[in-house]
Amino acid sequence: MRTNNRGVFRAWSCGQEAHSNNSNLTTNGADLYSYGLKIGVTADRAKIVGDFTSPGGRFASVTTSCHVNGAKTVADDVWHPATFQYTFSGSR
């Protein structure tokens, strides 16, 4: 489903696929991506966001920071980016 960023956050929180108008923010319903960087996951039905912002410890871009801050509004938990990447990268 094509929507605005807020709609992508809502879709992710409901487990539905969506992408922003320019496709820079996308979700398959389980994971949330900003420019291809995984910034959110669903684990045991909880929505978890990696804090890829300057205050969070790993700044990716201004737009990704906006995406992360928007995702925080629907997330159940926010993790430090290093812990998030280690836990959810799929490779160790």
Per-residue confidence (pLDDT) for residue 60, from 0 to 100? 80
According to DSSP, residue 53 is labeled S
0.85 exceeded by pTM: yes
According to DSSP, residue 68 is labeled H
Give the strand order in the sheet containing 25-27: 2-3, 18-20, 25-27, 32-34, 37-43, 46-50, 77-79
- How confident is the prediction along the chain (92 residues), in pLDDT tens digits per residue? 999 999 999 999 999 999 999 999 999 999 999 999 999 999 999 999 999 998 767 778 899 999 999 999 999 999 999 999 999 986 43
Per-residue confidence (pLDDT) for residue 24, from 0 to 100? 97
Angle between helical axes of 62-72 and 5-13 (0-180°, round to 10): 40
